[in-house]
Amino acid sequence: MLVMNIQQIMKVLPHRYPFLLVDRLEEVEEGVKVFGYKNVTINEPFFQGHFPDHPIMPGVLIIEAMAQVGGAYASAIDSIGDDRVTYFASIDKARFRKPVLPGDVLRLELELLSKRRGIYQFSGKAYVGETLVAQANLKATFADK
């Protein structure tokens, strides 16, 4: 069972503050399903402008957090070297259902749907508690740095 803390995630993802949007990974079904967690705090830099009097995590950053979970997971399960970087290939069927606020713990659930010719396809869902806040289908690939 794969579990990754922030130091291990930083070994497989090139992202750094303020753009590293996942704190921890836990594989829940080997080679198929992973949960990622993001602790959303008022100190996030995007809250300064989105929106100062009503802070809401931008939906595009929720999708990015999903993508980072998928990229870290694919990199770990397939032992992708640090000479490669994850690229988004597509985002489909993105839906935003509820706002994500400071103090929330975002649980990002990704299921690997397929892996063909170096392209990984995931179904992603984001939850706060038991409430679905966002979902999307994502495709990613790896390229040389």
**Of these residues, 15, 24, 33, 50, which one is catalytic?**
50
Which is nearest to 126 in space by CA: 101, 92, 96?
96
Q: pTM of the full predicted structure?
A: 0.95
Domain ranges of the chain: 3-144
pLDDT at 81: 82
The answer to whether residue 68 scores a pLDDT higher than 90 is yes
Which class is 3-144 in CATH?
A: alpha beta
54 flagged as catalytic: no
By percentage, how much of the chain surpasses pLDDT 70? 100
Q: How many other CB atoms sit within 10 Å of the CB of residue 94? A: 16
pLDDT at 83: 86
Please enumerate in sequence order all residues whose Cβ is within 8 A of that of 17, keeping only pairs 6 or more positions apart, or say none: none
For the segment 94-130, what is each residue's pLDDT rounded down to a tens digit? 999 999 999 999 999 999 999 999 999 999 999 999 9
HEC states along the chain? CCEECHHHHHHHCCCCCCCCCCCEEEEEECCCEEEEEEECCCCCHHHHCCCCCCCCCCHHHHHHHHHHHHHHHHHHHCCCCCCEEEEEEEEEEEEECCCCCCCCEEEEEEEEEEEECCEEEEEEEEEECCEEEEEEEEEEEEEEC
| Cα–Cα dist 120/141, whole Å | 6
Q: How many other CB atoms sit within 10 Å of the CB of residue 61? A: 18
Asked whether the beta carbons of 21 and 61 are under 8 A apart, the reply is: yes
Q: How many other CB atoms sit within 10 Å of the CB of residue 112? A: 18
